[in-house]
Structure 1
Amino acid sequence: MPTLPWTVPNTPPPGTDVHVFASRFETRTRWGALRFFLRTPRVWRQVSHAPGAHGAALRAQPLRRTFWTLSAWESADALRAFARSGAHAPASKGLARQMRDAKYATWRASSDDLPVSWQEAFRRLT
């Protein structure tokens, strides 16, 4: 599971604004990376059915203990609702102490520009 490609749960209308979210996580240990890795399938299933989700992707380098997410949402509220529910809520809470470093970036984009490139996400996360 090094990369989960861009998946579109709900196709956004053309020319609409979307809320883009990118994250980078580095775990303290390989055990933490394994825990992150094992929780990913349930969270990924949640994304694939999440109201307001317009796209999501994941890149993983488990041996380097580093994971990136990239997603697009109809609104910041839709992202917050996702993060506070389903498999994501207990996964993020349970992994909090495993994290060495976490970075986040959000910005607005046009639905016509989806999927957002990883290069753009990396640029915004640095």
Structure 2
Amino acid sequence: MPTLPWMTVGTPTRPEVQCMASRLEVDSLLSAPGFLIASLALWWQARRSPGALGVALKAEMLKGTFWTYSAWEDKAAIYAYARSEPHKSTVERKRKVMRDATFVFFNAPVDELPLSWTEIRRRIAEQRGSAQPDHKSAQ
């Protein structure tokens, strides 16, 4: 299972930061390698984006499931990253091979970073449990 562990890329200026976690599932295992390559490019981009504080990626290739976790100065920094290239066009392209996507936004104290993958999975499962039957989300 390819995992890029938490990498701190910035220094927080506040005691609490904005976090984003996602669970992304492709429609076929044939889509997984290309999705991994795209995910690595976006992980690389996030590391260098203004306001990014830390990033992590976990790929469960045989399940076709990808997990991301990042911390940012604020939501504005997350949205600026999401609107920038190559993220914007990559998401548009990869949406065609997605079966499901769940995104969770939350605040976390700086001294608790990084959260464990167990905690990230719990937060995403909680979000998925409270979502409508079709919780496919676009960003």
Q: Fold-level match, TM-score > 0.5?
A: yes
Matches within 5 A, 1:38-77: 38-77=37-76
Q: Counterpart of 2:3 in structure 1: which amino acid? A: T
> Normalising to structure 1: TM-score of the pair?
0.92
Using CA pairs under 8 Å that are at least 6 residues apart, name the structure with larger relative contact order, 1 or 2: 1
Q: Which runs of 4+ in 1 moved over 2 A?
A: none
> Normalising to structure 2: TM-score of the pair?
0.84
In the alignment, structure 1 segments of 5+ residues that lack a partner are none
Displacement, 1:116?
A: 1.5
Deviations 1:50-107 (A, max 9, x none): 1101111000011210000001111011000001112211111110011101111111
* RMSD across aligned positions (CA): 1.3
In the alignment, structure 2 segments of 5+ residues that lack a partner are 126-139
Identity across the alignment (%): 42
Matches within 5 A, 1:94-113: 94-113=93-112
Count of aligned pairs: 125
CA contact (8 A) 1:34 1:62 kept: yes
Displacement, 1:34?
A: 1.8
CA contact (8 A) 1:9 1:50 kept: no
Displacement, 1:31?
A: 2.6
